[in-house]
Amino acid sequence: MSKYWIFALIALGLMICSTPIVKAQNQNAYILEHVLWHRTNKDNPHIEISVCWDNPKPEHQQYRDLVKKAIENTWQKYSALKFTKWCTASEEDCDIHIYINDTVPHTLALGTDIRNKKGGMVLNFAFEKWSPRCKARFEYCVQAIAVHEFGHALGFSHEHNRKDCPTENCDKPPEGDRGDWVIGPCDLQSVMYYCNPHYNNDGILSKQDIKAVQYLYSLPPNRSDEYEGLTVVYNSSIKDSVSKALYKDFKLYLSGNQEDLDKVDHVLYYIDPQWFGWWRRQIISKKRESNFGLGLSLYRDVNVVAFVFSNDGSKTLKETMIPLTVHFGDQ
């Protein structure tokens, strides 16, 4: 897509809770929404999740390193997530506890429902009793399984649990906790899809997995400039003149040359205050006359992600993600 700029300007707006809520249909995933993780420190650009091992042994070290590397090269690499500590549970408490056992790898629940729970995630570093065929490709299995299980820890359910996934080539029954948020069509290449011909998609996030984790957990802070030509501007001079107001009124809209604006079909604004999970909103604007504008009245920090959809003549929608954080504490 050509250049677009989103400007956050102080203006009369609408209360966000009075604006129609539209569930996004542009990303592929099956999510349990209320268990998603959130940023705990507004000054930290990352959403940090600490990890620890409940029962590590010296002979486990190389596999622990493989797991850490696999997660850093997938879920962490493509989002604002940052997995920290990776220590022994006896040393420090943590968000995700991993128990090593020669049994079926699993999580006790999805997302934050496993926070601080001993054995919240179970990984296998033996493959004697369970899946002995993994012994022939040990490192592959360790990494592919870890990526899948960490998907659960982030709130992703099994993709094949969805009712809209094809059944002609998949005889797996639904398994594990179900999501409550179906986003986009079934992703047959997902690391969360049991019937993927490539086991856990070889531990590699599909294109839709990447889009989904970025949609839910924002872009990596150090990679926002990867989206060339997209700039976020916040008008601080006007902001200071109303710094004592309880609520701040904003208007978000697209700015660019008219030729580019004419190609836009609609904009999906994703409002995530981070500090209050269920309050998140997704709002679609088709108001071409206001440059796809959206009015907001806010009183706390938010993250705003704008998905800009264009029609290039071939009926193919293109997406662009633009992270914007408004810090009221800086006023």
Which CATH number does the domain housing residue 263 bear?
A: 2.60.40
Residues 230 and 197 grouped into a single domain: no
User: How confident is the model over 247-291, as pLDDT tens digits?
Assistant: 566 677 776 667 777 778 887 777 765 544 445 567 888 888 877
- Where does a domain end: 186, 217, 248? 217
State yes or no: pLDDT of 24 exceeds 70: no
- Where does a domain end: 217, 251, 283? 217
On average, the pLDDT of the chain sits at 74
**CA distances from residue 215 to 26, 83, 289, 305, 320 in whole angstroms, order as listed:** 10, 18, 27, 8, 11
Residues 13 and 33 grouped into a single domain: no
Residues 80 and 181 grouped into a single domain: yes
Choice between 31 and 236, residue whose per-residue pLDDT is larger: 31
Q: Which residue has the tokens 């690499």?
A: 77
The pTM (predicted TM-score) of the whole model is: 0.66
Q: What is the mean pLDDT of residues 58-87?
A: 96
Residues 279 and 158 grouped into a single domain: no
Question: Quick one: pLDDT at residue 330?
Answer: 43
Question: Quick one: pLDDT at residue 202?
Answer: 95
State yes or no: pLDDT of 317 exceeds 50: no
Cα-Cα-Cα-Cα torsion 89, 90, 91, 94, nearest 10 degrees, comes to: 30
Query: For a pLDDT cut of 70, what percent of the chain falls above it?
Result: 64
User: Of 30, 44, 71, 69, nearest to 216 (Cα)?
Assistant: 30
Residues 49 and 194 grouped into a single domain: yes
Residues 192 and 236 grouped into a single domain: no
- Where does a domain end: 184, 217, 250? 217
Question: Quick one: pLDDT at residue 5?
Answer: 38
Question: Quick one: pLDDT at residue 313?
Answer: 43
Choice between 64 and 6, residue whose per-residue pLDDT is larger: 64
Residues 223 and 208 grouped into a single domain: no
Highest mean pLDDT among 22-31, 56-65, 156-165, 278-287: 56-65
- C-alpha span between 265 and 311 (Å, rounded): 6
Q: Please provide residue 57's backbone torsions phi and psi, each rounded to the nearest 5 degrees.
A: -125, 160
Query: For a pLDDT cut of 90, what percent of the chain falls above it?
Result: 34
Determine the structural domain holding residue 278 and report its residue range.
4-25+219-330
Question: Quick one: pLDDT at residue 73?
Answer: 95
Question: Quick one: pLDDT at residue 241?
Answer: 38
**Domains: count for the chain:** 2
